[in-house]
Amino acid sequence: MKGDRRRPEGLQMRMIMPGGFPMGPGKADLLQGIAETGSISAAGRRMKMSYRRAWSLVEDMNGFFREPLVETSRGGADGGGARLTEMGERALTLFRRIEEKAMRATGPEQAELTGLLRDASKDT
């Protein structure tokens, strides 16, 4: 399943939180999708993720943070809407800032490592 979600090239950040909870690009994209679509199922679909999987990730995150990151309005499995709470916005913003800063800090090394690849040598 995981292999089906093609990630764009580049640096990926995954934080292993105290307690072992992983927070990576998948959960961040899901949060962002919920913010943008107003729906857990629509956000999951966009990522080719089952509703069950998307919902389970949301439940994990909601339980692991001090307050829920995602708030749903009741309405059955596919019915109700969803939105990020203030805590959800904060967590997503922080994660994106970590991605950005790490990316900016490591540009030259990333280029150098990529330059060692067989395919890269064809292009240069």
Residues comprising the chain, all counted: 124
Strand partners, 70: 84
The least CB distance from residue 26 to a copy of itself, in Å, is: 12
| Euclidean distance between CA atoms 69 and 89, whole angstroms | 7
- 71: which DSSP letter? E
The least CB distance from residue 35 to a copy of itself, in Å, is: 17
List all residues 6 or more positions away from 50 whose beta carbon is below 8 Å from its beta carbon: 44
Measured from the CB atom, is 77 or 94 closer to a copy of itself?
Answer: 94
| Euclidean distance between CA atoms 105 and 20, whole angstroms | 26
Measured from the CB atom, is 9 or 76 closer to a copy of itself?
Answer: 9
Measured from the CB atom, is 74 or 104 closer to a copy of itself?
Answer: 104
Measured from the CB atom, is 76 or 108 closer to a copy of itself?
Answer: 108
Q: Which residues in this chain contact a copy of itself in the complex, by CB under 8 A?
A: 6-21, 23-24, 63-66, 87, 90-91, 94-95, 97-98, 101-102, 104-106, 109-110, 112-114, 116-121
